[in-house]
Amino acid sequence: MKKVYIGIIGFGNIGSAVAEFIKKNHQVIIANAGIDLEVKTVCDTRKLHIPYSLTSNYLEVINDQEISVVVEAIGGENPAKKIILAALNKKKHVVTPNKEAIAKNMKTFLAAAAKNKVQLLFEASVGGGIPIIQPIKESLAGDKLSQIYGIVNGTTNYILSKMSLEGKDFATALKEAQDKGYAEPNPTSDVEGYDAAYKAAILAMVAFQAEVDWQKIYREGIKQISQDDIQYAKDIGYVIKLLAIAQRDEGKLDVRVHPALLPKKHPLAAVSDNYNAIYVKGAPVGPLMFYGQGAGGGPTASAIISDIIIAANSKNKNQNSKLRKINLKKIGEVKSKFYIRLEVPDRVGVLAGISKIFAQKKVSIAAVLQQETDGQVVTLVIMTDQVAEKNLTAALAAMKKRPIVKKVCNVIRIAS
Amino acid sequence: MKKVYIGIIGFGNIGSAVAEFIKKNHQVIIANAGIDLEVKTVCDTRKLHIPYSLTSNYLEVINDQEISVVVEAIGGENPAKKIILAALNKKKHVVTPNKEAIAKNMKTFLAAAAKNKVQLLFEASVGGGIPIIQPIKESLAGDKLSQIYGIVNGTTNYILSKMSLEGKDFATALKEAQDKGYAEPNPTSDVEGYDAAYKAAILAMVAFQAEVDWQKIYREGIKQISQDDIQYAKDIGYVIKLLAIAQRDEGKLDVRVHPALLPKKHPLAAVSDNYNAIYVKGAPVGPLMFYGQGAGGGPTASAIISDIIIAANSKNKNQNSKLRKINLKKIGEVKSKFYIRLEVPDRVGVLAGISKIFAQKKVSIAAVLQQETDGQVVTLVIMTDQVAEKNLTAALAAMKKRPIVKKVCNVIRIAS
């Protein structure tokens, strides 16, 4: 039987779970894949009592002739980038859950992997334990993919679920997520959509073999979502989710991250708590959804171990390493339906005035909900038909100059 | 670039969709997989006007030196079995959506494939376009799987969805499914659970590398599910789904197909219409769900084309061809919670009598719903705690002998 020695760089939550399950599932892996995996060396700066050779110098891992697969589990762009490149250049297969390093450097990494005839695999970087990268590359190799919608950030999905199902406000739900360990003490990367943007970039690059500069991805977090928005959305048959979107659009790629109203019947609408799911549309396959735990040591280790097995069995298998150039669609050009919540004065003619401005900017109104009120202010919820975002932006700008609108409380795209 | 010639045997809905999308997605497949697929020969007994070499003799396909992958798309066990074996013995990779042939002959086919160093691939046989076989074999190769619950029959899922969401009765929903082409004129294979049993056998064999005699799989269809059951289930927070179940249970395999009450919060509960989904639990990955179109030419072609690509790239890759012997758990030994709907006389002491019989047979009652009634008959809905099925069967038999029960209307297992 083939024996495969593994080096793990970074022995935190994920690195240690990989070692644990390589040992625990040793017989299962032999039965499933016919190979004998063994962790040989761990690189970590801490003093650890572990039954593996321990070093604080990653060069001892990547220079080891016996080790054929290196797991990079440090996280963050640096020094992970340097280590991944060095390992690839030493002709080691590299497996990593590092979404930031992969999103920012996929092209460079793939080129180094191709040059050295080794594999760079990163199933765990999107959706934790959910098989999505490999199914896109392999199971959907015969399909022309058109759309990916991902709920790829468990923290924000947990917060939005609590707001939706339990009526909590954003701050309370965030605190609860932090108490449960689903959110970091500094939640910026999750709440502002950075984490989801890394994953959107990775999904877009894998699905469309295109180079995507993650910094050009339009990104909007969930902080501005209020309980009011959640309730109005519910009343009209929608839930609000933070979506990572990657789709073909008239020869360009439309890649973005933002909260969106999703019809209750959409398969993603039922994905709650800290679960992740990726919805993929392709031809001829139609719509698919992949659902599971998007984070945590165990699920992430599952994805890493399967990548280790794929790498070990790869025999210099070609991997498609070329990412073509393609233009990203600018957010102003993207067409969506919109949900708009406004506060307007409670007097005759306001709706007519708003309608007129919308019409001038070619924004067509699909529905208006007017909430009852005693006071001087009425809340209006307007749903538009499909329109280029720049038209809507222009309409809202024009409206703000006029006394017919007191406040634009929120504008949320509607996904379908 | 690698050129791969394909022979398709059986050019109906599925075979022709495979040819259509190999042509339509030719450039996409080159970009995704770096291989040039071409359908060379089609075998069909009809006279067809097609841009491929046409024969009515399958030997002309399997004897063709240029053809390396044969798609068997006839369906049914015979003559498909003979053709698949002959093709494998001619050292052709075989790709097939034929659930019946695979479920009944997987061991024989895998042995022939191993002997001839070719691949036998059948992603399309379960869940249509949903990637499930390959993800289990590859993406979950590091996991110890414990449970698979599948909604794998679109016809019955459509019928149960219509009954649940629109209040239709079984006969009306079946008629509608037939009108939409989701159900055959003779719906036995779907409605009685045969189709799901083939798929349960395949999933169990792939996930647990165990030989499963599909005839020993406990199988129950959906005909006896009434609108009453659906409504009572709904009242207590459940939906009724036809499940294909395969799970490890105390050193044995528990494989069965039957309708089950599923909690509304279970990810499978939201899978409606003719969609399929497969829910998989493993360690360390936790729960996963794979969702999509379980039938139809397009989705099935997607799975077949991805298998063709895997086969073409396989380079005599070993496939795990050994299925171990394992005992199937007998249905009487399986432990479940149960939903029981009874009609009982409307008089004092009935519930006490029923409770006593349950207690004697060690069946513990978790909840009782008693419906109001004017007449002489009351409907009781009883939910039990977990109990071995044989105990429940004994309790119901004892009850039928006594005047305290007029009728056992239905008994449905509760899945969790």
- Please spell the DSSP secondary structure of A79-99, one letter per residue: THHHHHHHHHHTT-EEE---H
What pLDDT, on a 0 to 100 scale, did the predictor assign at position B316? 54
pLDDT of B318 strictly over 70 = no
What number is the ipTM of this complex? 0.96
Average pLDDT over residues A53-79: 98
CB within 8 Å: B142 and A297? no
B-chain residues near A290 (CB < 8 A): 288-291
The C-alpha angle with vertex A339 and arms to A338 and A344, in degrees rounded to 5, equals 125
Give the residue on A whose Cα is nearest the Cα of B208. A32
What is the torsion angle, in degrees rounded to the nearest 10, for the CA atoms of residue B262, residue B267, residue B268 and residue B274? 140
Q: Any chain B CB within 8 A of the CB of A224?
A: no
CA distance A267 to chain B (A): 8
pLDDT of B272 strictly over 60 = yes
CA distance A367 to chain B (A): 26
Which tens digit of pLDDT belongs to each residue from B353-384? 999 999 999 999 999 998 777 778 999 999 99
Count the residues in chain B.
416
Q: Any chain B CB within 8 A of the CB of A284?
A: yes
Choose among A31, A139, A209: nearest Cβ to B209.
A31
CB within 8 Å: B298 and A305? no
Choose among B142, B298, B305: nearest Cβ to A29.
B142
B-chain residues near A123 (CB < 8 A): 139
What pLDDT, on a 0 to 100 scale, did the predictor assign at position A319? 60
CB within 8 Å: A303 and B31? no
Burial status of residue B348 (CB atoms within 10 A of its CB: 0-12, 13-18, 19 or more):
exposed
Instruction: Decide if B180 is catalytic.
Output: no
B-chain residues near A282 (CB < 8 A): 302
> How many C-beta atoms surround the C-beta of residue A30 within 10 A?
13
Which tens digit of pLDDT belongs to each residue from A11-24? 999 999 999 999 99
Give the residue on B whose Cα is nearest the Cα of A265. B270
Average pLDDT over residues B232-244: 97
pLDDT of A186 strictly over 70 = yes
- Write down the H helix ranges in B192-314: 194-208, 227-235, 297-312
Give the residue on A whose Cα is nearest the Cα of B303. A139
Q: Any chain A CB within 8 A of the CB of B28?
A: yes
Distance CA B11, CA A54 (A): 60
pLDDT of B277 strictly over 60 = yes
For B68, the token pair is 């390396």
Which tens digit of pLDDT belongs to each residue from A78-132? 999 999 999 999 999 999 999 999 999 999 999 999 999 999 999 999 999 999 9
pLDDT level of residue B317 (50, 70, 90 thresholds): low
Rounded to the nearest angstrom, the gap between the alpha carbon of residue A177 and the centroid of all alpha carbons in its chain is 18
Residues of A forming the active site: 199
For B296, the token pair is 């139809």
CA distances from B271 to A148, B84, B141 (A): 19, 34, 26
What pLDDT, on a 0 to 100 scale, did the predictor assign at position A220? 98
For A357, the token pair is 């401005």
CA distance A146 to chain B (A): 12
Q: Any chain A CB within 8 A of the CB of B171?
A: no
Q: At B83, phi and psi to the nearest 5? A: -70, -45
* Strand stretches in B73-199, DSSP E: 93-95, 120-121, 144-151
The H or E element containing residue B395 is helix B389-400
Query: Chain A window 298-337: which residues touch B at a Cβ cutoff of 8 Å?
Result: 298-299, 301-306, 308-310, 313, 315, 317-318, 320
B33 in Cβ contact with B309 (< 8 Å): yes
Work out whether strand B120-121 and strand B93-95 pair parallel, antiparallel, or are unpaired. Answer: parallel
CA distance A298 to chain B (A): 5
* Strand stretches in A183-304, DSSP E: 218-219, 238-249, 252-263, 275-283, 286-293
State the angle between helix axes of A13-24 and A297-312 in degrees (0 to 180), rounded to the nearest 10: 60
Which tens digit of pLDDT belongs to each residue from B120-179? 999 999 999 999 999 999 999 999 999 999 999 999 999 999 999 999 999 999 999 999
Which tens digit of pLDDT belongs to each residue from B51-66? 999 999 999 999 999 9
What is the torsion angle, in degrees rounded to the nearest 10, for the CA atoms of residue A262, residue A266, residue A267 and residue A270? 60
The H or E element containing residue A145 is strand A144-151
Distance CA A13, CA A411 (A): 38
Sheet holding A35-43, edge to edge: A53-55, A35-43, A2-9, A67-72, A93-95, A120-121
CA distance B327 to chain A (A): 18
Distance CA B150, CA B243 (A): 5
What pLDDT, on a 0 to 100 scale, did the predictor assign at position B314? 86
B-chain residues near A291 (CB < 8 A): 267, 288-291
Which tens digit of pLDDT belongs to each residue from B155-170? 999 999 999 999 999 9
Q: How many interface pairs between A and B have CB atoms less than 8 angstroms apart?
A: 198
R_g over Cα of chain A: 24
CB within 8 Å: A285 and B296? no
pLDDT level of residue A322 (50, 70, 90 thresholds): confident
B159: CB partners within 8 A, 6+ apart = B170, B173, B174, B177, B183, B191, B222
Average pLDDT, chain B: 95
- Write down the H helix ranges in B145-270: 154-166, 170-179, 188-191, 194-208, 227-235
